[in-house]
């Protein structure tokens, strides 16, 4: 089921009506049933993958749980003479005895979780890619291979829920959190429908306590939830879906299109993918607020960044922090010299590119961003990036950062690598109309006006949010101004919402 569908328009109000009539424990159970229904609407057979990941990681978490990791000496009394008498020993549960038995093999237990989750990704997402890559290498070496691929459908959201579930077992292993004892709460953590298929990739310490306690849904949460949903639908339907045909037209013309057509196409693609993905996050956060549950912010106006490091602090925050905590830091982070720091940044982003999809273009996209981050780190030296007050010359830094991001976006659309390079060549060589080798002509008026119009709609939302550092900045405006903007958004949704059946781009990841 997708947010921009009639099915969801019926599903959500039905769930909310029942939800508000229940006790919080029954509400949690309803969320789980609704989440399985939401995911199974697309293909019920893939619920088995969700259940497998849930069962394996719940059991692994319980086995890894070490009370001393969090409770330790910090709870000991400062004055031993006034310490309370020791409590009567309680009988050990079966899990406690099993935990003691595996205490010296915790890495093996964690490995079970990691392998189980990565195996799901390897089979359903990467198997054919690696088989085809190996086959191509063998043919280049003169061998005739007969390796067969599998006819596999990529399960929606598999990259998101496997990473989320895996982060939980790693955090339990590291002693950052205690294992979840309630299987219902853990099952909801893995399957929570607002963020199940497109994120954000949440952490257990943020979500479990919200499932474990009564939720309060007051007027402010309803207003803010509906406002976020309106912003999200506006981004997705009025902006992202409206530019989609223009983007497709440009990328289809990679081999022969003029540089102005191609440049317009990549600018609009940057707008499309941002509004598509951040729009989903806004709808997910708004839906979750109606349930009394808070989701993390996943985007903070990334195209207003003044360097590439800031861009990655603002773009897909849940993934960038996941890569930092579970890949970059374990690789060594910045602890072992400059060269290793640059290498770790590059490898992290390279694997981050592969996370997005089984295609060489994603690897190139990740490698470019890894190279950008390493070079920026090199330029900073020992200094740390800070958020400075805006100055007029910062516009230059913003434009440079934006064009580095645009260059990488060319490789983000799945397809043959040669098409992406042809697209890039068409822009860099200022290819003319009809394939002429060189044409130093400016943007046509219509091309510039199209990009400016859609960029203006994005800035209409992003600049107020950026200035107040608040995604709900519009709710703090006066009634006349707020009403006018909401009316404009609704009007544009009606006028521009013809292509409202286009799936979210990140569904393929």
Task: Determine if residue 332 is left, alpha or beta; phi over 0 gives left, psi from -120 to 50 gives alpha, anything else beta.
Answer: left
CB atoms within 10 A of CB 313: 16
Q: In the numeric block, which tokens belong to residue 304? A: 């207003």
- Measured CA to CA, the distance from residue 422 to residue 57 in angstroms comes to 45
**3 state SS of 230:** helix
- Measured CA to CA, the distance from residue 194 to residue 478 in angstroms comes to 30
- Measured CA to CA, the distance from residue 26 to residue 329 in angstroms comes to 40
CB under 8 Å to 436, separation ≥6 — which residues? none
CB under 8 Å to 43, separation ≥6 — which residues? 153, 155, 156
* 63 CB-side CA count, 13 A: 22
CB under 8 Å to 55, separation ≥6 — which residues? none
- Measured CA to CA, the distance from residue 159 to residue 369 in angstroms comes to 20
Residue 163 Cα to chain centre, angstroms: 10
- Measured CA to CA, the distance from residue 193 to residue 199 in angstroms comes to 10
CB atoms within 10 A of CB 152: 11
| H or E element in which residue 390 lies | none
Active site residue 356: yes
Evaluate the omega torsion of the peptide bond into residue 200 and state whether it is cis, within 30 degrees of 0.
yes
Q: Which of 316, 356, 369, 376 is catalytic?
A: 356
Q: In the numeric block, which tokens belong to residue 230? A: 């309106």
Alpha helices in 175-218 (DSSP H): 183-191, 204-211
Q: Could you give the angle at the alpha carbon of 245 between the alpha carbons of 4 and 488, nearest 5°?
A: 55
* 95 CB-side CA count, 13 A: 13
Three-state DSSP string of 402-461: HHHHHHHHCCCCCCCHHHHHHHHHHHHCCCCHHHCCCCCCCCCHHHHHHHHHHHHHHHHH
| H or E element in which residue 295 lies | none
> In this structure, are residues 410 and 364 in contact, taking their beta carbons and an 8 Å threshold?
no
Instruction: Report the first-to-last Cα separation within the chain, whole angstroms.
Output: 16
- Measured CA to CA, the distance from residue 130 to residue 125 in angstroms comes to 10
Active site residues: 356
């Amino acid at each position: 089921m997708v947010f921009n569908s009639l099915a969801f328009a019926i599903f959500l109000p039905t769930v909310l009506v029942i939800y508000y009539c229940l006790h919080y424990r029954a509400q949690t159970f309803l969320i789980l049933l609704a989440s399985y229904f939401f995911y199974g609407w697309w293909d019920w057979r893939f619920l088995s993958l969700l259940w497998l990941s849930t069962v394996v990681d719940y059991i692994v978490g319980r086995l890894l749980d070490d009370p001393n990791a969090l409770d330790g000496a910090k709870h000991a009394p400062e004055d031993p003479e006034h310490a309370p008498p020791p409590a009567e020993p309680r009988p050990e549960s079966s899990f406690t005895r099993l935990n003691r038995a595996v205490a010296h093999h915790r890495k093996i237990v964690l490995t079970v979780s990691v392998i189980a989750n990565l195996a799901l990704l390897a089979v359903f997402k990467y198997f054919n890619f690696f088989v085809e890559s190996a086959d191509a290498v063998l043919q280049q070496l003169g061998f005739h291979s007969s390796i067969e691929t599998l006819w596999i459908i990529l399960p929606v959201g598999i990259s998101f829920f496997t990473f989320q579930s895996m982060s939980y077992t790693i955090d339990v292993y590291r002693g950052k959190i205690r294992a979840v004892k309630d299987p219902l709460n853990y099952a909801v953590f893995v399957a929570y429908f607002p963020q199940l298929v497109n994120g954000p990739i949440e952490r257990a310490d943020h979500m479990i306590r919200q499932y474990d306690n009564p939720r309060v849904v007051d007027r402010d949460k309803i207003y803010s939830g509906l406002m976020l949903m309106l912003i999200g639908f506006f981004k997705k339907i009025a902006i992202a879906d409206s530019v989609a045909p223009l983007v497709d037209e440009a990328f289809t013309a990679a081999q022969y299109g003029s540089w102005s057509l191609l440049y317009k196409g990549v600018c609009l693609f940057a707008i499309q993918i941002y509004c598509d993905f951040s729009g989903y996050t806004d709808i997910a956060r708004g839906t979750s607020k109606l349930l009394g549950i808070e989701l993390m912010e996943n985007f903070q106006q990334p195209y207003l960044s003044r360097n590439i490091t800031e861009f990655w602090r603002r773009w897909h925050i849940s993934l960038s922090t996941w890569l930092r905590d579970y890949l970059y830091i374990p690789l060594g982070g910045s602890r072992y010299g400059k060269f290793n720091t640059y290498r770790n940044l590059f490898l992290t982003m390279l694997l981050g590119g592969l996370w997005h999809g089984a295609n060489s273009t994603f690897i190139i996209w990740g490698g470019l961003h890894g190279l950008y981050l390493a070079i920026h780190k090199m330029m900073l030296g020992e200094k740390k990036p800070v958020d400075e007050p805006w100055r007029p010359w910062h516009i230059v830094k913003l434009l440079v950062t934006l064009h580095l991001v645009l260059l990488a976006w060319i490789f983000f659309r799945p397809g043959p690598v040669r098409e992406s390079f042809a697209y890039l060549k068409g822009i860099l060589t200022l290819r003319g109309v009809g394939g002429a080798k060189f044409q130093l002509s400016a943007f046509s008026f219509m091309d510039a006006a199209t990009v400016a119009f859609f960029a203006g709609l994005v800035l209409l939302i992003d600049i107020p949010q950026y200035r107040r550092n608040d995604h709900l900045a519009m709710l703090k405006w006066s009634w006349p101004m707020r009403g006018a903007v909401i009316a404009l958004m609704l009007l544009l949704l009606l006028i521009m919402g013809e292509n409202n059946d286009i799936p979210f781009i990140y569904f393929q990841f």
